[in-house]
Structure 1
Amino acid sequence: MLLPDGAEPFAAGRDADVYALDEQWVLRRSRNGYAVRDEADFMRHVAKYGYPVPAVREVHGPDMVIERLTGPTLAEATIAGDLSPTDLGVLHADLHRRLHAIPAPSGTPGLVVVHGDLHPENVIATPTGPIVIDWRNAEEGTAEFDIAMTAVIFAQVALDPAWADLSPLLHETLAAYLANSIDPTPGLTAALDARSNNITLSAAEKALLPAQEALIREHLRR
């Protein structure tokens, strides 16, 4: 899909860039050329059940044209003081509860739609409510795995020295999130394994995984 000459992304994630097309639509381009058809299909599937995702207009190879959203991420809103750490944890638990009520596209018993990367940077606080973005890791799986994955991500930021100023906030968020979710223990080992094999994580980030597991299990015992 062609972009205007000299177009520059106005937002970027670990593996994708986002370009403005107009006031209503943006183009999200996978940086490594990864085809995004499956990602778009999951977004369209959960949208049919009323789950808050950006509308998908079209897909071409690594390019997806999606609804342009207005508002800060939940991470930005919390840091700005517009959302308390406890409310952030409760909100994430609710987003997962709503998502896991949606049947897997295949209809396989016991499987649900798994986002796989649901954290505060991947939720936009729009004027109409929170909308979940970045479905790159979406798949069919178990709710416990999906909840464990988010817990691992919260624990990573809580323990990472590079984010020491956010550590108290994330400890409170993690506690609220786990207290309002189903027990993620059955999916925790798989989530930790998935993070250890994530090529976008640095060696320093992966080195924190044992401490992240310990922190999560400590909260679960309370």
Structure 2
Amino acid sequence: MAVTLEQLGAPIGTGRTAEVYAWGEGQVLKLMRPGWVADAEEEFEASRRVHRLGVPVPEVFGLEEVAGRPGIVFERVEGDSMLAVAGRRPWQLRAYARQMAAMHWDLHQLPGEGLRDQQDTLRREIAQGEGITEAERSQVLRLLDRLPAGDRLCHWDFHQDNIIISPGGPVIIDWITAQHGNPIADFGRTTMLLEIGELPSRMGRWHRLLAGRLRVHFMEVYAKRYRQLAQPAAAERRDWRTVVFAARMYEVSGIEYRRLLKSLRLELAK
């Protein structure tokens, strides 16, 4: 018998691409939003691959459909996001930032075989980006042409809200953007999200203000620790930063769009 949205009840979590519902004993259903339905099977396969690699991720059980929308059944992980936990324990913020850097470094030691290609993704996103001139687009693509491709596991949306602090340890969620590629690009993407990305809309005004200030410190500690582990060349870091800024342009709007465009043009002018 088909399950309806009404039978699912209220979602226990919401995000840009999906809503999450309780689904049986110890499981959840990640139900894709309209506009993201084609990504369900790819995320399902990516989640299975990273689980087999031994990455701390929720176990994935199968695909379901509710009201014409595909969804993925995952193990239910108890706990709050690192963003929420660190917000309640600001005295531990430095430790969480260093932990996140170490987790990111550990991911980058693993092969990304079978996942989408980072270079293809970047070229497509740069081509779709609005607000940048054709001369700027060409300049970014020339940068990308000379950067090493890489074959490592990259999350591409790695930040505190995608890490659950569970009783058994941190668990990484949301593998919809997983890919194989260069770890320094993935690092650049995370620092960009921490530096420029919008905070979750569910936060109140004053919470967002405080979180924004704390996030700057978190980003600095995270970035310093990751650089200590990976030891990337400064020029390569700078070039990847420019590329990921340009690739992000197609998916943002409002204040984040304006911040990003300003930052991109500053990078291109260097």
Normalization by structure 2: what TM-score?
0.70
| Separation (CA, whole Å) in 1 of partners of 2:112 and 2:2 | 33
Rate the CA distance shift 1:23–1:175 in 2: closer, same or farther, 3 A.
same
Q: Which residue of 1 aligns with 2:175?
A: 135
Q: Displacement, 1:99? A: 0.9
2:38 pairs with 1:34 = yes
Rate the CA distance shift 1:139–1:55 in 2: closer, same or farther, 3 A.
same
Rate the CA distance shift 1:90–1:215 in 2: closer, same or farther, 3 A.
farther
2:158 pairs with 1:112 = no
| Separation (CA, whole Å) in 2 of partners of 1:178 and 1:196 | 22
Structure 1 unaligned blocks of 5 or more: 217-222
Q: Which residue of 2 aligns with 1:3?
A: 3
SS at match of 1:165: helix
| Separation (CA, whole Å) in 1 of partners of 2:265 and 2:210 | 21
Normalization by structure 1: what TM-score?
0.84
SS at match of 1:36: helix
Task: Indicate the structure whose relative CO is greater, using CA pairs within 8 Å and at least 6 residues apart.
Answer: 2
Q: How many residues get paired?
A: 213
Q: Displacement, 1:60? A: 4.3
Which has a greater percent of helix?
2
Q: Which residue of 2 aligns with 1:52?
A: 56
CA distances 1:14-43 after superposition (whole Å, capped 9, x unpaired): 120011012311100110223312212222
Q: Displacement, 1:83? A: 6.4
| Separation (CA, whole Å) in 2 of partners of 1:2 and 1:138 | 30
CA distances 1:160-196 after superposition (whole Å, capped 9, x unpaired): xx63322331121111111111344342122212221
Residues 144, 187 of structure 1: 8 Å contact kept: yes
2:213 pairs with 1:168 = yes
Deviates more, 1:31-40 or 1:133-142: 31-40
Q: Which residue of 2 aligns with 1:155?
A: 195
Q: Displacement, 1:85? A: 2.2
Residues 158, 171 of structure 1: 8 Å contact kept: no
| Separation (CA, whole Å) in 2 of partners of 1:17 and 1:148 | 28
2:248 aligned to 192, 195, 211, which one? Answer: 195
Amino acid at match of 2:16: R
Deviates more, 1:140-149 or 1:53-62: 53-62
CA distances 1:124-149 after superposition (whole Å, capped 9, x unpaired): 10000110111111112210111111
SS at match of 1:191: helix
Residues 71, 125 of structure 1: 8 Å contact kept: yes
| Separation (CA, whole Å) in 1 of partners of 2:238 and 2:191 | 11
After superposition, where does 1:73-152 map in structure 2 within 5 Å? 73-81=81-89, 84-106=92-114, 110-152=150-192
Residues 124, 132 of structure 1: 8 Å contact kept: yes
Structure 2 unaligned blocks of 5 or more: 118-148, 200-204
Amino acid at match of 2:176: R
Q: 4+ residue stretches of structure 1 with deviation over 6 A?
A: 213-216
